[in-house]
Amino acid sequence: TFAQAIYLILKGELPGERESKMMEAIFVSVIDHGIAPPSVIAARSVASGGNSLNVGVAAGVMAFGSAHGGALEDAMRFIQEGVASGRSVGDIVTDYLSQKKPIPGFGHRYYKEFDPRTRRLLELAKLYGFYGKHCRFAEEVEKEIFKQKGKRIVLNVDGAIAAVVSEMGFDWRLGKGFFIIGRVPGLVAHVYEELTTERPFSKRLNESEETQYTGVPPRDLPPEIKKV
């Protein structure tokens, strides 16, 4: 399968049935998240400019960054280094919160009580035997955040995937790669839809309703400039 091939080229060994099923679930969980993410807006906007499918998809991939798409790498590093450090989860969370630093892999714009993708991935991790110290660490961090802040900051899908692939032995430097592999099919679908159902140059802002000028007030040009 495609997931088996990905596992092989990233780890240099063939996966067993458990690894294959876990990889399939991971890629399915990030394949798309609607029309709102920056990568989709970028992909469809570039396609709207009269570009081909590959150019639009490339634009979408280029939109991945620390706030969108890159969180998986940061979460993998946070979890792997946190587990390896031997420090208590409480101390680690305290350090982040006291410095007002966001904890990678936690929090979501829409999911405030729980991320349904996280819940399902961790269920599958337990089913396939990939729920170990990294997954426990991630869930303990979620509980500790609530304990210290009195507010729920959910373990999001990036954090869940980070915990599971860390359990599977993948290096954190592959984090962005997992997201790219899983999300590109979604970008292909969006760009194809843009090219086949929308008019070119249709992805424009309504300047009067969607923008607000915040610069200096209008001014008259000096007389000497007006003459020119």
User: What digits encode the pLDDT tens for the residues 120-136?
Assistant: 999 999 999 999 999 99
Token pair listed for 51: 């570009």
Nearest CA to 23 among 207, 168, 211?
A: 168
d(CA 143, CA 136): 11
The tally of domains found in the chain comes to 1
Query: Phi, psi (5° rounding) for residue 68?
Result: -155, 110
- What residues make up the domain containing 148? 32-197
In a domain, 209, yes or no: no
Helices (H), 67-222: 71-85, 89-98, 116-128, 133-149, 157-167, 175-197, 207-210
Q: Which domain CATH number covers 57? A: 1.10.230.10
In a domain, 219, yes or no: no
Q: Please report where in the chains the tokens 């458990």 appear, as a residue.
A: 18
> Which segment of 7-11, 79-83, 104-108 scores lowest on mean pLDDT?
104-108
- Give the list of residues 6+ apart from residue 118 with CB closer than 8 angstroms, or none: 154, 155, 156, 157, 159, 160
Q: What is the per-residue pLDDT for 122?
A: 98
Q: Residue 119, exposed/middle/buried by CB under 10 A (0-12, 13-18, 19+)?
A: middle
In a domain, 9, yes or no: no
Q: What is the per-residue pLDDT for 203?
A: 66
In a domain, 129, yes or no: yes
In a domain, 223, yes or no: no
User: 47-93 pLDDT, tens per residue?
Assistant: 999 999 999 999 999 999 888 888 899 999 999 999 999 999 999 99
Mean pLDDT score across all residues of the chain: 93
Helices (H), 36-70: 38-48, 53-62
